[in-house]
């Protein structure tokens, strides 16, 4: 099967991905604003540090995915992009994380993390693994 570049996908697919990424960013923002402080009280110091580190990595991953989608939307729309422009690399947040550590994360945060990881895996597969 030949690889179809994301800029050749139907615009609706890119729009849907954009909506999903932005929704996850909003959910993460709401979690940080509404629940993180209370969740921190239930965790020991090392788990708090881990949650902060993973939250920062998740924020980076989601903003990178948003940039990836916007780049391909611009390409699909025929925008005049600089020659050196790329969609960039997106790193997995979950890959390499200790399973026990992830299991200890607050449920609301873990739900966002799992959905973001599922989206990351879909984007990686759609892009022929180039984002992984």
Domain count, the chain: 1
For residue 76, being part of any structural domain is answered with yes
CATH code for the domain in which residue 44 is found = 1.10.8.930
Residue 131 domain-assigned (yes or no):
no
Long-range contacts of 34-41 (CB under 8 A, 24+ apart): 35/106, 35/108, 35/109, 36/109, 39/106, 39/108, 39/109
Question: CA 71, CA 88: separation in Å to the nearest integer?
Answer: 9
pLDDT tens, position by position, 76-116: 888 888 877 777 788 889 998 889 989 989 999 999 999 99
The parent domain of residue 20 ranges over 10-126
| Interval 62-76: pLDDT, tens | 999 999 888 888 888
Task: Classify residue 98 as left (phi > 0), alpha (psi -120 to 50) or beta.
Answer: beta
- Neighbouring CB atoms inside 10 A of 33's CB total 9
């Amino acid at each position: 099967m030949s690889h179809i570049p994301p800029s050749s996908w139907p615009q609706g697919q890119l729009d849907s991905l954009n909506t999903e990424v932005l929704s996850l960013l909003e959910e993460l923002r709401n979690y940080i604003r509404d629940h993180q402080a209370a969740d921190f009280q239930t965790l020991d110091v090392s788990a708090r540090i881990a949650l902060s580190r993973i939250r920062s990595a998740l924020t980076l991953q989601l903003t990178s995915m948003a940039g990836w989608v916007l780049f391909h939307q611009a390409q699909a729309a025929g925008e005049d992009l600089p020659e050196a422009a790329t969609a960039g690399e997106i790193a997995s947040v979950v890959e390499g994380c200790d399973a026990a550590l992830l299991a200890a994360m607050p449920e609301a945060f873990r739900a966002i993390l799992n959905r973001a990881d599922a989206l990351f895996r879909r984007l990686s597969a759609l892009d022929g693994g180039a984002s992984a």
